[in-house]
């Protein structure tokens, strides 16, 4: 046997053992009910917002917090300070630079919690803010939140009129998450509560000299969408002062009904942190006492997001249980190492979570039978396309105990995915044709996620899922393939909206194209493979910084387990199973695997809102390497041919 073959056999053996260890580790973490569920963590902003909410709900009396609130605020303070950077600022992803909005939020939270402004940590944070243009350069949501306590001028915040509710289907042209945030916030903002702060408290030291506090018109061109919306903003602010009170009241009541309706069959409005927080505040202003069933339930669901254990204190933006379970089940199914009973339990649990009620998505698809899956434990108003595709991929490996119910569920989900294809041939996250680009210039759209346009990563995953159930020449599949061909970047990569970033988009696009029957000798697939090989790190792994979103091109980062797995999966889907790049990538995963079969990963590889909010999915580092190793083990030198 030649040395090359011996090395290949040794690598295959080591890869098989690493996959077995990873599968065992994942199986040991399955819950009795059949699901997998890991923490979902982010930056310091959620803990900062938590202190802000406590100021709203339980303001200090004579400068003293009540004891239960004080204890929680102190924990949040410690969590925030643990994330302060050497320059005094706060970032929004691991190893990232200081970000001004996160730093303003942290400064406010720490100061209101009792950290004096002359504390060296506060002085450093303040200087970071001033160096970046002052509090005036924070995003609109920070300014709105502070204005509710008279800490930022009201005229410097965008109008968020509840009259949006009277605009027919206008709210359904916003992304689902923006809708869920803006509608309760519109109630809060319109009621202009001017909540109290401790005596003498202000943030004047954060205002940079000479920087305007109000939005500024573009001067280079007479007409731009920005100027148009800033003009509209002025009109809306006039309406706030002089407009019909009866129309405003009707709008607020319609927003109230909309919110309450969407807190049924779900773990809070949209089951995400920002909207759940604003719901509590809106109900408070509308006169719901703390013990009212709707307000108490809103508070309970919000409090569930708090993790307070073994010295850890943080807030999750939501629960990722369906997502975690579907990816784990797919990886385990591909490995062949999962007992049938474990897979059946998972399939039964996933099937029980299928959506059978119409949600916001049905505004544009009123005649489509409900199906699909959401991200969390319960969120029936908002099934998403990405989760639905991933669950279908999991159910290809995991069969439910009731085969008839299993098949019926799959059939409905396939039909729902087909109905949710947008006009351009791609798929978005929650809605269809949610792409009115000019809405991105609305002043409160600076969270960089006003819309929910189609994207290559979700389209690739949907193609992979549908190709298991439809002929490859199906019209929807061909349109999806054409979408990916059109959206490929000049360097051969694809943009990843929901994972960081081009590695994620490229791996999913390539897997979708492979499943759709594209020849791996096609030029666009060869270019993608060349691109993936060209960005491999010297240690054999792959990594990408969240800065790719800001730079609008691949930006290198340290190797991570999840991104290495994505690159390997992309290369293998593109027909490369034996190159030195693939071998070195597999070796990287083997060498960095820990004794318990898991991997360590500190860098953020999940995306919430590009350039604004990033995520760490704590099972990405374990499920995706298992999937990559398992696929590798079925290739030329792998398990099936050993």
Quote the radius of gyration of the chain (alpha carbons, Å): 25
**pLDDT cut 90: percent of the chain above it:** 86
**pLDDT exceeds cutoff 50 at 534:** yes
| Predicted pLDDT of residue 638 | 45
Average pLDDT over residues 294-304: 97
pLDDT of residue 3: 61
User: Does residue 43 carry a pLDDT above 90?
Assistant: yes
Closest to 580 (Cα-Cα) out of 76, 74, 4, 89: 4
Residues 421/427, Cβ–Cβ less than 8 Å: yes
Contacts of residue 310, Cβ cutoff 8 Å, sequence gap at least 6: none
Q: Could you list the active site residues?
A: 386
Would you say how long the chain is, in residues? 642
DSSP annotation of 288 reads -
Q: Are 369 and 416 in contact (CB under 8 A)?
A: yes
Contact 575, 635 (CB under 8 A): no
For 92-110, write each residue's pLDDT tens digit.
999 999 999 999 999 999 9
Of 12-21, 221-230, 366-375, 395-404, the one with minimum mean pLDDT is: 221-230
Q: What percent of the chain has pLDDT over 70?
A: 98
Tokens standing for residue 242: 């002089």
Q: CA angle, corner 402, sides to 401 and 407, nearest 5?
A: 115
Q: How confident is the model at residue 4 (pLDDT cuts 50, 70, 90)?
A: low
Q: pLDDT tens for residues 488-502?
A: 999 999 999 999 999
Cβ atoms of residues 547 and 528 within 8 Å: no
- DSSP annotation of 208 reads P
DSSP one-letter code for 384: B
Q: What's the confidence (pLDDT) of residue 1? A: 52
Give the sign of the dihedral formed by CA 456, CA 457, CA 459, CA 464.
positive
* Mean local confidence (pLDDT), 74-82: 97
Q: Which domains does the chain have, with CATH numbers?
A: 3-41+318-641 (1.50.10.20)
Strands 312-315 and 542-544: unpaired
Helix and strand counts by DSSP (H, E) for the chain: 23, 7
Q: Name the DSSP letter for residue 445.
A: G
CA pair distance 80, 110, nearest whole angstrom: 8
How high is the mean pLDDT of the chain? 94
Helix (H, G, I), strand (E, B) or coil at 540: coil
> What are the angstrom distances between the C-alpha of 524 and each of 227, 490, 521, 528, 532?
40, 10, 8, 6, 13
Q: 608 is written with which tokens?
A: 């919430």
CA distance 417 to 359: 15
- 622, 638, 521: which is closest to 564 by C-alpha? 622
What's the whole-number mean pLDDT along residues 440-444? 83
Q: Is 609 left (phi over 0), alpha (psi -120 to 50) or beta?
A: beta
Alpha helices in 262-339 (DSSP H): 273-285, 293-304, 321-335
For residue 168, count other CB atoms closer than 10 A to its CB: 8
Strand, helix or coil for residue 342: helix
Query: For residue 632, what are the contacts with CB-CB under 8 A and spacing of at least 6?
Result: 15, 568, 572, 577, 582, 586, 638
At 474-527, the pLDDT tens digits run 999 999 999 999 999 999 999 999 999 999 999 999 999 999 999 999 999 999
Residue 639 has pLDDT above 50, yes or no: no
β-pairing verdict for 306-309 and 312-315: antiparallel
476 contacts 424 by C-beta, under 8 angstroms? no
């Amino acid at each position: 046997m030649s040395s090359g073959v011996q090395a290949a056999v040794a690598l295959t053996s080591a890869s098989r053992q690493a996959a077995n260890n990873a599968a065992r580790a994942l199986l040991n973490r399955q819950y009795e009910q059949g699901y997998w569920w890991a923490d979902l963590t982010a930056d310091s902003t959620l803990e900062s917002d938590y202190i802000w909410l406590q100021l709203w709900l339980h303001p200090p009396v004579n400068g003293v917090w009540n004891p239960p609130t004080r204890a929680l605020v102190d924990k949040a303070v410690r969590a925030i300070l643990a994330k302060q950077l050497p320059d005094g600022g706060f970032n929004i992803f691991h190893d990232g630079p200081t970000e001004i909005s996160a730093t303003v939020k942290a400064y406010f939270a720490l100061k209101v919690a009792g950290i004096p402004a002359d504390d060296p940590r506060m002085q450093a944070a303040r200087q970071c803010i001033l160096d970046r243009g002052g509090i005036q350069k924070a995003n609109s949501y920070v300014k709105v939140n502070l204005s509710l306590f008279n800490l930022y001028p009201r005229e410097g915040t965008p109008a968020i009129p509840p009259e949006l509710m009277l605009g027919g289907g206008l709210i359904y042209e916003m992304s689902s998450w923006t809708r869920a945030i803006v509608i309760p916030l519109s109630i809060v903002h319109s009621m202009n509560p001017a909540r109290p702060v401790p005596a003498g408290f202000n943030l004047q030291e954060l205002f940079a000299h000479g920087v305007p506090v109000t939005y500024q018109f573009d001067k280079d061109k007479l007409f731009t969408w920005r100027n148009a919306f800033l003009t509209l903003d002025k009109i809306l602010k006039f309406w706030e002062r002089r407009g019909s009170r009866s129309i405003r009241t009707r709008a607020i009541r319609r927003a109230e009904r909309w919110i309450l309706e969407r807190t049924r069959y779900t773990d809070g409005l949209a089951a995400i942190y920002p909207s759940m927080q604003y719901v509590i505040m809106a109900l408070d202003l509308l006169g719901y006492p703390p013990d009212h069933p709707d307000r108490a339930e809103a508070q309970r669901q919000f409090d569930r997001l708090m993790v307070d254990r073994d010295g850890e204190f943080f807030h999750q933006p939501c629960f990722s249980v369906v997502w975690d379970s579907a990816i784990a089940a797919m990886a385990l199914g591909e490995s062949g190492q999962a007992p049938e009973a474990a897979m059946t339990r998972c399939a039964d649990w996933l099937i029980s979570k299928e959506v059978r009620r119409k949600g916001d998505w049905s505004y544009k698809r009123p005649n489509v039978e409900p199906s699909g899956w959401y991200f969390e434990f319960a969120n029936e108003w908002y099934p998403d396309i990405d989760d639905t595709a991933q669950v279908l991929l999991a159910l290809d490996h995991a069969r439910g105990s009731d085969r008839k119910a299993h098949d019926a569920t799959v059939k409905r989900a396939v039909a729902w995915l087909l109905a949710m294809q947008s006009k351009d041939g791609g798929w978005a996250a929650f809605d269809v044709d949610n792409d009115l680009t000019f809405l991105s210039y609305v002043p409160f759209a600076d969270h960089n996620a006003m819309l929910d346009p189609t994207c290559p990563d979700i389209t690739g995953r949907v193609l992979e899922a549908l190709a298991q159930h439809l002929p490859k020449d199906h019209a929807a599949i061909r349109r999806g393939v054409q979408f990916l061909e059109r959206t490929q970047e000049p360097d051969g990569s694809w943009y990843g909206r929901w994972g960081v970033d081009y590695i994620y988009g490229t791996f999913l696009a390539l897997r979708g194209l492979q499943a759709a029957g594209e020849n791996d000798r096609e030029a666009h697939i060869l270019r993608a493979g060349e691109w993936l090989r060209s960005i491999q790190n010297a240690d054999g792994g792959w990594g990408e910084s969240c800065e790719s979103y800001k730079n609008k091109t691949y930006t290198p980062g340290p190797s991570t387990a999840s991104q290495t797995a994505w690159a390997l999966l992309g290369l293998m889907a593109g027909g490369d199973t034996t190159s030195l790049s693939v071998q070195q990538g597999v070796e990287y995963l083997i060498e960095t695997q820990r004794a318990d079969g898991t991997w360590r990963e500190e860098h953020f590889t999940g995306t919430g809102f590009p350039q604004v909010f990033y995520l760490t999915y704590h099972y990405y580092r374990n499920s995706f390497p298992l999937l990559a190793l398992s696929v590798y083990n079925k290739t030329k030198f792998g398990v099936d041919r050993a």
